[in-house]
Amino acid sequence: MRIGELAAAAGTSTRMLRYYEQQGLLPDHRDGLGHRAYGAAELRLVQEILALQRIGFTLAEARPFVDCLRAGHDSGDACPASLEVYERKLADLDALIATLTAARRQVRTQHAAALARRTADPADPRCQFDAVPTETRCA
């Protein structure tokens, strides 16, 4: 299949496929006329890359999965290098979740404190903004 057919089958663009080639993730196979030519193996590589990107993996993080497939494994995560990437990604996600949880806790605390301090009079001019004159922020 040609590059346009591969792009359509994978659900991506030809531009993205060329970028994957530039990054060394997708081989640049050419037919006798110089046109890019791909098969099922390349479609599988692109599907693996796209699936990983959808869940937040970078192209660098996807490389071991692609290398694993190119080595002939049925799954991109059958190799130790891929498992190491999973482990690093899980640690990164755990750290991000901890950071977001702490931020949420802080916002919730500040919100509760603000509610406790708010004025009972929505007509209080200190609670109105010029940009939104009909809306009050204290009520």
CA–CA distance, 23 with 71 (Å, rounded to integer): 18
Residues 55, 19: contact at Cβ < 8 Å? no
pLDDT over threshold 90, residue 123: no
CA–CA distance, 89 with 107 (Å, rounded to integer): 27
Give the tens place of pLDDT for each residue, 46-96: 999 999 999 999 999 999 999 999 999 999 999 999 999 999 999 999 999
CA–CA distance, 85 with 47 (Å, rounded to integer): 18
pLDDT over threshold 80, residue 110: yes
Task: Output phi, psi for 34, to 5 deg.
Answer: 90, 5
Give the tens place of pLDDT for each residue, 97-107: 999 999 999 99
pLDDT over threshold 90, residue 124: no
- Round the average pLDDT of the chain to a whole number and report it: 90
**Is 3-120 in CATH node 1.10.1660.10?**
yes
